[in-house]
């Protein structure tokens, strides 16, 4: 069964449970209202908004006014009541929302910084590896030369090889083993860093997605971030 086939009463139950368990808040109901006609209708159920009203504005129970106005209160849809209270507390609500966006942005920035650091360290490791490989090459040449000196060589070649060996100031064999070890370590480091880098990259895309969600505004085009122009639309009353 697909979501569209689910009968209304069951969708209503989903929304009720969501509101009651705090899984769904006022913004979620608003997003649902924009999603499709059916969800719009379902999101308007008084009981949902009553739950949110009593949870988000608890101290603001029935105002102690005359009986006539409290009678009026009962006839006002909880969603409108919610909106009224919301606008009265706009500052507080707006601050809360800005905090969420700020935290989401901070996470994205921290992630990007970590990625840059990882890139840098992988680059440095790569350089070290290149240097080690180069030295290894040179030492190999020296070793081959010293081995070759044990057999007869034409004088020209012999002279060159002797020069190579004499110019080398390090103990060839032990340096060779050190370098091989270093190459191994470099490779491992790069592999590990790459692994972490990929995981971090995945986290970054999740954080960026969360940030986009936090910044959602129905009148703002999600791609450009600009506020959509007010259209000359026919005002239709939706049932």
Q: Residue 44 CB, nearest distance to another protein (Å)?
A: 11
Between residues 28 and 182, which has the closer beta carbon with respect to another protein? 28
Cβ within 8 Å of residue 1, ≥6 positions away: none
C-beta of 60 vs 134, nearer to another protein? 60
Helix 26-35 with 46-56: angle, nearest 10 deg: 150
Query: Of 171 and 236, which has the nearer Cβ to another protein?
Result: 236
Q: CB-wise, 41 or 143, nearer to another protein?
A: 41
| Radius of gyration over every alpha carbon of the chain, rounded to an integer in angstroms | 35
Q: How far is the CB of 77 from another protein (least distance, A)?
A: 13
Exposure of 203 by Cβ count < 10 A (0-12 exposed, 13-18 middle, 19+ buried)?
A: middle
Q: How far is the CB of 6 from another protein (least distance, A)?
A: 5
Q: How far is the CB of 50 from another protein (least distance, A)?
A: 17
Helix (H, G, I), strand (E, B) or coil at 220: strand
Q: How far apart are CA 79 and CA 202, in angstroms?
A: 39
Inter-residue contact 40 to 238 (CB < 8 Å)? yes
Q: How far apart are CA 160 and CA 157, in angstroms?
A: 5
Nearer to another protein, 90 or 160 (CB): 90
Instruction: Provide the minimum distance between the beta carbon of 78 and another protein in the complex, in angstroms, as a whole number.
Output: 14
Report the alpha-carbon distance of residue 211 to residue 219 in Å, rounded: 17
Angle at alpha carbon of residue 20, lines to 27 and 210, rounded to 5°: 35
Nearer to another protein, 107 or 175 (CB): 107
Is 238 strand, coil or helix? coil
Q: How far is the CB of 223 from another protein (least distance, A)?
A: 11
Give Cα separations from 129 to 115, 135, 170, 181, 192 (angstroms): 21, 10, 20, 11, 15
* Smaller CB separation from another protein, 84 or 177: 84
- Minimum CB distance to another protein, residue 97 (Å): 5
Site for another protein, rule CB under 8 A: 1-7, 9-10, 13-15, 17-18, 21, 23-24, 26-28, 30-40, 83, 86-87, 90, 94, 97-98, 101, 213, 216-219, 222, 228, 230-231, 233-236, 238
């Amino acid at each position: 069964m697909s979501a569209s086939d689910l009968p209304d009463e069951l969708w209503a139950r989903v929304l009720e449970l969501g509101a009651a368990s705090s899984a769904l808040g006022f913004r979620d109901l608003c997003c649902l209202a924009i999603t499709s006609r059916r969800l719009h209708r379902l999101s308007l159920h008084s009981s949902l908004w009553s739950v949110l009203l009593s949870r988000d504005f608890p101290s603001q129970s029935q105002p102690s006014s005359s009986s006539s106005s409290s009678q009026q209160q009962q006839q006002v849809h909880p969603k409108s009541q919610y909106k009224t209270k919301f606008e009265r507390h706009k500052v507080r609500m707006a601050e809360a929302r800005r905090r969420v966006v700020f935290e989401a942005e901070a996470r994205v920035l921290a992630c990007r910084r970590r990625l840059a650091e990882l890139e840098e360290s992988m680059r440095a490791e790569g350089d070290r590896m290149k240097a080690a490989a180069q030295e290894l090459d040179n030492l190999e040449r020296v070793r081959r030369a010293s081995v070759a000196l044990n057999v007869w060589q034409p004088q020209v070649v012999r002279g060159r090889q002797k020069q190579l060996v004499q110019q080398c100031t390090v103990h060839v064999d032990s340096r060779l083993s050190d370098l091989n070890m270093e190459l191994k370590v470099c490779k491992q480091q790069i592999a590990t860093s790459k692994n972490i880098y990929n995981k971090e990259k995945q986290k970054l895309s999740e954080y960026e997605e969360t940030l986009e969600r936090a910044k959602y505004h129905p009148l703002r085009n999600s791609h450009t971030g600009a506020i959509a122009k007010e259209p000359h639309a026919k005002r239709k009353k939706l049932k």
